Structure 1
Amino acid sequence: MSLKQRHIEILNLVFQNDKIMDIKYISEYFQVSERSIRYDIKEINEEFINNKNTNIIEMEEGKLVSNINKEELTSLIKNILPQKYIFTSEERIEILLLEILLFREKFTLQALSDELLISKATLRKDIKDMNEKIKEFNVKIDINNNQGYMLTGEESSIRQLMINILHKYGGFIEEIEKEDINNLQIVKLLIFEKKKKYFQNERINLYKSILLKIQQKTKKIITDEAYDALLLNMIITSIRNRNSHFITDDISNSNFIKGTEEYKIIKEIFQNEDIDYREKDLIIFTDFYMGSYSYNTKFSFYLNWMKIETLVGRILEDAAKVFDINFKNDQILIKELINHMKPAIYRIKNKMSLKVSILEDVKSEYADLYEKTRVSLGVINEFLDENIDEDEIAFITIMFKRAINRNQEKLMGEEKRNILLVCGLGYSSSQFLAENINERFEVNIVDIIPFNQLENFEYIKSVDLVISTIDIEMEGMEVVKVNPILQKEDIEKLEEYALTRKSSKIPISKILKVIKENKHIENEAFIIENIKKQLKEYVKNDVETEKTSNFLELLDERNTALNIDLKNWEEVIEYSGKLLLDSGYIVSEYIEEMKEQIRNFGDYVVMGSNTILPHGKLNESVKKTGFSFVSLKNPISFFGSKIKIAICLASVAKHEHINAILELNNYFRDPEFEKELLKINTRKELENFLINRRNR
C-alpha cells in the first residue's frame, strides 16, 4: 500500500482542528462516504505502523484524534518519500523537471527509471509532457546523440526556467520545517529537499548582503517577490558558471542596460565582493533589478517583468479590440514591443526623455492611429501606476503602423518584409549578408548601409526589420544580429520574425511572364537584363563575362602566411596588416583603422566558425585592392569565438573586390571549408585548393 494525496490532506485537516476532527465533516469535505474515510484512516495507520508502533490516528465516537504532534508527522512523511507516495502525473512531472534542471542535464531512461522506480514507458510520456510544459521558454529535453537525453536551449532560457520552477514552489525558502503544518504537501517537502541540496554550498548570506548594498546605494526598495527572484538569480548564476554553463546568447537591450546608473553600481559592488560574474550575467541581473521597483506592486514582478511577454500579450489583446486586427502572430511587432517596453518603463519611472522625439510628426500624420495606440497601452499605465510618456506612445504607434501594413500585404498576397542591412562599414560583410538573405528569404532589402549612416537614414519608417552584423540597438525598431554567413542558428533566429523562406524552385508564372515580355526581342543583352530584373536572385548569371578579380587573383603570394604562432587578435591584425603594408597595398594607418573597427563593433568580422575578415575604410590608406591570408598555429580568443584564420581585406573601391567576396561567401557556406583550409601547409597547396573549389 502507498500513500495518496488525500491521506496527507486528511492529516492536515486533523491538525487544523487541534488534532481532532469529525469524520462526517471530512467525508463531506472530500465528497465521499464515511466508510471511505474510515478505510483511508486504516491505510494511513498501516503505512505508518512500520515507523511507529502505535496508530497515529484513532477513531473515537465519530471523531479522528491524532496521537502525534506536527513535528513528528513532518518527520514521518519525509522519511517515506518518495517510495511510498503515489504521485499524480502532474506532481511527478514537476519533480522530474526539477531533478533534471538541478542535477541531471544529461541522463538515460534506464538510469532514471531504476532510481525513481518508474517504467521507461512512463518516463517517455513524462518527457513529452514536460516538453509541452516548458516550450514557452524555448527549452527542450531532447535525444543526446543516441546516448540518452539532455536539456537543450539557450543558457539564459534555462536559467529563467529554473527560476520559474523554484519560484512556483516558494522560491528561496530557508526553513520549510518552520512553516505551519496546515500547508504541508508531499511535493513541497520533496522539492524543498532538492532545493536544500542544490543550495547547500552557496554563500547565501553574502548574496543577501550584496542585495542590501545595492538597494542602499541605488536608494530603491524592492518587493519580497522581486527579492526572492534576484536571490535565486544570484545562486543559479553562481552554480551554472561554476559548472561551465555560460550565457553566450544575445541579451535584449544590453547596450541600454549597460548605460544605466544601476548597472554601474551593481558592477562595482560585484567586483568589490569578488563575485565572478561575466558581463552578460551582470546585464541580466541589472535587468531584473531595474524591474524590481518599476511597477505597481499589485502586478506580479515575475510575470510582468521577468516574463515581459505576459505584459506584451495583454497589450496585444487590447490592441486587437481597438484596431479590430489580430496581432498575435506578428512576430516582428511582438519582438519590437518586448525589446522596447523595458527601456520605456525605466525611462518613465526615472523621468528620462527619449533622445529623439517623433511625437509632433506622428500626431500630424497618424492622429487616429496614435489615439488607438494610446488606448491599447492602458495596461502600461496600470503597471506603472502613472501615465506612459507621449513620446513613447509615438514610437509604439509607428510599430503598430508597420504591423497594420504587413497585415494588409498579407491579405493581398503581397507579404514581403522590408529589410535594412547595417554593417560596420557597409562594403564587405554586408555583401555576404545581402546575398545570403536574398537567397534564403522572400524579403525586400531597402538598403545596405554602414553603421555611421543609420541615425540619418531617411526611409527608416518603411523598414520592418533591421538585420546587422554588429551589436546595435534602436528606439522603436527591432534589430537582429547575425553572422554574415547566416549559420543555422541565424536562419532560425530570422524565421522567428516570420520571414518567409524562399522556394528553391522558380514559379512557372514568373518564367511565362519573362517569355511573353521578351518573345519579340532579338537583343540578347537586353533579354539578359530583363531576366535578371524579373527573376532576380532566382537565377545564376553564367553568361556574362566577369568584370572583377576572383579571390586567388587578389591574394598576392607575399600576403600569405601559414601556421603562424600569435597570441591575441591585436597581434593577428598587426601581422596580417604588415603583410599588406610590406607588399605596398596599404599605408601603416590602415592597420590601426582595422583595430579601431573591431574595438567599436566587436565580432562583426567573424565569418563561419573560425575565421575573421577584418578591414578598414575605403580611403587613402589603401593603395591597391587585395587580401592577406594568415592561418594560426593555435586558436586565439575573439569575442567568444576561437579564431584560426584571418583574411584581411584592403580595397580601393567596392567593385574591385565584390566578386572575391561573393566567392568567399559560397565557400564559407560549406562547414567543411574551414577544416580543409586549416590542413594546408604551403602556398601551392592553398592555390590548388582554391582552384579546385572554384571549378566545382
Structure 2
Amino acid sequence: MLNERELKIAIKLLEAKLPMKIKDLSQDFAVSTRTIKYDLEHVKEWFQHQQIDVYSQPNKGLWVTCNDISRDEALQQLLGDERWRQSPDQNVRLQRILVTLLLSNDYIIANTLAENLQVSRNTILNDMNCVSEYIAPWMIQLERTKRKGYKLIGEELTLRLFLEHLIYTNLTNYEIYQIMTRITADEEEHEQQFLMDATLLSMFKIAERHLKNLYTSATAKLFHQSDLILLLIRITISVVRLDKGQTMKGYRLVNKKLYTDDTSLFILSWMENVLTELELPLLQNEFLYLSGDIAKGTRGIDLTVVTNQLVQYVSAKEGIEYGKDPKLFNSLFAHLSLRLNKGVFNVSEINPFADEIKTNYPELFQNITEACRVYLGLPSIINHDAFISLIALHFLSSFENTFSTKRKVRGLYVCATGGGVARLIKNRVEKDIHDIEIVAYCSIMEVEELCQREKVDLIISVFPIQSQIPVIVVEAIPTKRDVETIREHVKALSQESYSYQYNLPYENQCLLIEDNEQINLEIILKGFEIFHEIITVFPQDIQEERKQALQLHIFLMVHRSYFDKQYDDFLYTNQPISEKHRRDLQTLKDILTRLHVPVQQSELMALLQYLK
C-alpha cells in the first residue's frame, strides 16, 4: 500500500510528459532527496505489480513507459482503490468526522467515530479539538455533552451547504470524469467511495440513475458539467435529510404550475422521479434549495452598489485606492453577477489557487471575507475559500497591473544579429518566469550601450560574454534547464533588490471574468476622448484625409493597451528625431497620461506618423 506522498509521486509519473528529476520531486514535496529515493522504491514496486516499467537516467530523470490503456487503468487504480486504502491524515479524518456528524440528528460518542475511522479514541479526541476551528467560518457550532458525545448545531441551510462543500471540493478530476461518463454514455458502474458514507452513497446512485435516464443532448445546453455535479450532491443531501425528518423550513408542496422555464422543469421532473421511488414528498423549499433560490437574500441586492461597497471597504482596510482602477469594478461586477444571479447555485466552485492565496495573502483574504459578510449579508453561504479567493484574484490582478511598485527584473537577450527568433524567446521566457521582462534584444556589439540605456539587471546570451552584470549563457533556443537557471537568477535578484512578493499563478488570467459589453463601451468612449483631445491640441498638424485613419488607430491602440497587446517596445533603434517631433511626442504622452491610457514608446512613435 502506498502512502500519501508515494501515491502523488506515482500519479505525477503517469501524468508527466517529460522525465522528472528527483531534485524536482524533493522540492515539490518539501522533503530531502533521500526521502524521495526511499519513496521511489515503493513506487517502483507498485508499478511492477501493474506491469509498467519505470526508467531512469542520470541528468535526465525518471519516466514510465506504457500504452494509453495501461496508463488509464493505473490512474484509475491510484485514484480509486489505492487512494482509499490509505490511512487518512488528520485533515481527511476531520472531514469524515464532520460528514458523519452532519448526517446525524443525535449525539455521536468518540468511540463510535474511532471505530468508523479505525483509529484510537485518543486520536479522535485530539481531532475534535480542531473541529471547532474548522467549522467556525460556517457559523456552525460543535456541542459537547458528557456521556452523550458530539453534535453540530446550525441552521439547516448552513449545515447542508457545508456538507455539499465538503463533498464537492474533495472530488478529484477522475471521479468527476467517471460520474459524467456514466451519465452521458453507456458505461459500467464503478465502485464510488468519495467522502460519502453508505447512506449518502446509496442515495447518490439512485439520483445518478434517474439523471442518466433523463439526460439528453438538450440537457447539456441547460447545465454546465459543474452544475450537474452540484445538483447530484444537493439532491442526495436533500433526500437523506428528508428521510431523517429535517426539512427546509416547512412542508408545503411545490406548485409546479409556477415554473415554466426549461431548467426548472428538468429539475422538478428529476426530483419527482427520485422522491417517488423513495416515497418522499416533493416540497417547495427542497426545490428552491436544489435550484439555489432558497437564498433569497441575494435577490434584493443591487450588485452595482455592492460592488462599489466591496471595493471601498477593501481599499480602506488595505490602504490602497482600488477605486481608481475601472477594470477592477467591471471584472468584479461581472463575477458577482454570474455567481449570484441564481441565489447560491453557482457559489460552490473550486479554485485550485485558494490555499495559496489564503496562505500568502491572509489579510486581504480576511478583509474580503468581512466585506462579503457586511454587504452581501450571506456569511454562511458565500464564505467558501474558493469564492473568496476568486474575488481576491481580481484585487491581486488590479494591484499587480495598476498599483504595484515592484519592478520586474529587466533582462537583455543577446543573440547573433539582434533579431531572428528573439520575439519567440521573449514570449517563452516571460510566460514561464513572471518576474522578468525582456526589455531589449541586441547583437554582441550593442550590449554595453543597451545595458546603460535600459538599466538591465540580467543578461541572457548565446555567447559567453564578459560583463559586470550577471550573465546566463543559454542555447540559441533556451532549453528547459536554461529556463530553470534563468528562474533561479531572477528569484535571487528579486529577493536581493526588489522586496520580492509572491506572484499569482500564470493561469489566474483565465479565471478572471470580464464584462465584454462594459469593456467595449469603455474602450469606445476612451478612444473618442483621446481622438478629440489630439485633434484639438494639433489642429494644424493633422491633414483632413488622415483624421479617419487616426481615429481608427486610436481605438485600436486603446484596445491594445487595455489587453496589454501593444507594439513591441524592445526593438533597439538609434534613429534620430527632430526637436519638433520630440516636443510632439511629449505632448502626446502627456495627453495619454492625463486620460489614464498607458502606452509604450512604440505606440507614441506610431501616432507621430499622423502629424505633419
Q: TM-score, normalised by structure 1?
A: 0.35
> Going by fraction, where is helix more abundant, 1 or 2?
2
Larger Rg: 1
Structure showing the higher strand proportion among its residues: 1
